[in-house]
Amino acid sequence: MFPDAKMFAVGFDRFGPPEVLTVGGFPAPHAGPEEVRIAVRAAGVAPVDLALRAGTSPSSARLPLPHIPGVDAAGVIDEVGADVTGFAAGDEVFGAVDVSRLGGAAAEFAVLAFWAAKPPSMSWEEAGAAATSVETATRALDRLDVGAGRTLLVEGASGGVGSVAVQLAVARGARVIGTGRPENHAFIAGLGAVPVAYGPGLAERVRDLVPGGIDLALDVAGAGSLRDLITITGAPASVLTIADFTGPELGVGISRGELGGEPGGRHGLALAAALSSQGRFRVPVRAVFPMDRAAEAHAAAARGPRRGKVVLAAPPAHGEPVQGERG
């Protein structure tokens, strides 16, 4: 496409509810050094997308409007930037945009800052929603040094990051206990974790469930359980949160690094792809919408149950026929 060519994209020119999202023509981006551009097949709807659109994120103030949301995407490479090796036009990949751009994935074309080859075992919808959850979970598990012989408690195991963290921890050989609502326990068990109800009395329930004790705890829910997690593990240094920023007051570590900001974030995508090929990893998807129904997708992502990802399907020019919402 020519530099000033237009592409189909979702966008908003003011902050507000999902209804501020519209679809129309935007300038097409191009791959810079160490980047690839893809013809998008699917793009995930992440919590950061909702906060930026609503204007409730601290980063909303620095967004140039109009803005294209979306940080996760999967598609077919059609443009390769300088210094990219091992990938070429026509390759199917999944990944995430440069975090400094805060969006750009919900479009006909998107530029990825880090990516991996999409395995045939991973659907476009799964791949489109995977990258930031995999990167976040990998970074957190690396920080906690989760591995074989360790017992990990994941607080919020049925959510987008939690469900991925459970599977990656199990693949590392850890025993995983996952908290969630009773109606999500079968789902959590299917991911490979032992489910337990969250909320008051968590420490006692975990003690009864795992008499030998818990080595490490990862909080992805931000539900105010850090004191319980310290009691369960026996030390603040054994707890990490990505969602409760009162952590430092209790001596608990916080992991909120930038996408791809650590090597673990990049190798995590390739590992998730390999595990998917082995039938050991999946990205739960609860609803798929065509991009011209992005407002409905954002509304769906904001309401419960928070089990599985909401995904935007590609424009008809690049994707397969869309069937609307499913889940």
Give me the sign of the Cα torsion angle 70, 76, 81, 84: positive
As a whole number of angstroms, the distance between CA 150 and CA 319 comes to: 42
Q: Is 278 part of a structural domain of the chain?
A: no
27 plus 10 within the same structural domain: yes
Contact 72, 46 (CB under 8 A): yes
Kind of pairing, strands 109-112 and 114-117?
unpaired
Contacts of 124 (CB under 8 A, 6+ apart): 41, 42, 74, 75, 118, 313, 314, 319, 320
Instruction: Quote the number of domains for the chain.
Output: 2
One domain, residues 225 and 299: no
The answer to whether residue 259 sits within a structural domain is no
269 near 135, Cβ under 8 Å? yes
Q: What is the pLDDT of residues 26-65, one digit of tens each?
A: 999 999 999 999 999 999 999 899 999 999 998 999 899 9
Q: For residue 326, tell me if it sits in a domain.
A: no
CATH of the domain at 240: 3.40.50.720
Using CA of residue 318, residue 323, residue 325, residue 327, what is the dihedral sign?
Answer: negative
Q: Give the pLDDT of residue 6.
A: 85
Is there a domain that residue 10 lies in?
A: yes
At 51-108, the pLDDT tens digits run 999 999 989 998 999 999 999 999 999 999 999 999 999 999 999 999 888 999 999 9
Whether residue 292 is contained in a domain is answered as yes
**Which of 234, 254, 274 is the last residue in one of the domains?**
254
* Same domain, yes or no: 195 and 302: no
**pLDDT for 267:** 80
Residue 115 lies in a domain: yes
Do residues 217 and 148 share a domain?
yes
Task: Determine contact, residues 45/70, Cβ cutoff 8 Å.
Answer: yes
Same domain? 137 vs 126? no
Instruction: State residue 5's pLDDT score.
Output: 64
Task: Provide the pLDDT for residue 320.
Answer: 45
pLDDT for 327: 32
User: How many whole angstroms separate alpha carbon 306 and alpha carbon 321?
Assistant: 26
Give the DSSP H or E segment for 136: helix 131-144
Are residue 248 and residue 142 in the same domain, yes or no?
A: yes
61 in any annotated domain: yes
Question: Which residues form the domain of 80?
Answer: 6-130+283-313
Please indicate, yes or no, whether residues 175 and 93 belong to a single structural domain of this protein. no
Amino acid 272: pLDDT:
97
**Looking at residue 179, what DSSP letter applies?**
E
Whole-prediction pTM: 0.90
Q: Which long-range contacts (CB under 8 A, 24 or more apart) does 192-200 make?
A: 192/166, 192/167, 193/154, 193/157, 193/166, 195/157, 198/155, 198/156, 198/223, 198/225
Residues 37 and 92 in one domain: yes
Query: Do 107 and 156 reside in the same domain of the chain?
Result: no
Q: Are residues 234 and 187 in the same domain?
A: yes
Q: What angle do CA 20, 21, 26 make, to 5 degrees?
A: 125
CATH of residue 79: 3.90.180.10
Do 184 and 171 share a domain, yes or no? yes
**If you count them, how many residues does the chain have?**
327
Q: Which residue has the tokens 């959850």?
A: 133
Co-location of 125 and 25 in the same domain = yes
Q: Evaluate whether residue 261 is within a structural domain.
A: no
Please name the residue that has the structure tokens 């608990």.
252
Kindly give the confidence (pLDDT) of every residue in the chain, 327 residues in length, as a single tens digit, with 9 standing for 90 and above: 334 568 999 999 999 999 999 999 999 999 999 999 999 999 999 989 999 999 999 899 989 999 999 999 999 999 999 999 999 999 999 999 998 889 999 999 999 999 999 999 999 999 999 999 999 999 999 999 999 999 999 999 998 899 999 999 999 999 999 999 999 999 999 999 999 999 999 999 999 999 999 999 999 999 899 999 999 999 999 999 998 888 888 899 887 654 444 444 568 999 999 999 999 999 999 999 999 999 999 999 998 767 889 999 986 555 444 333 333
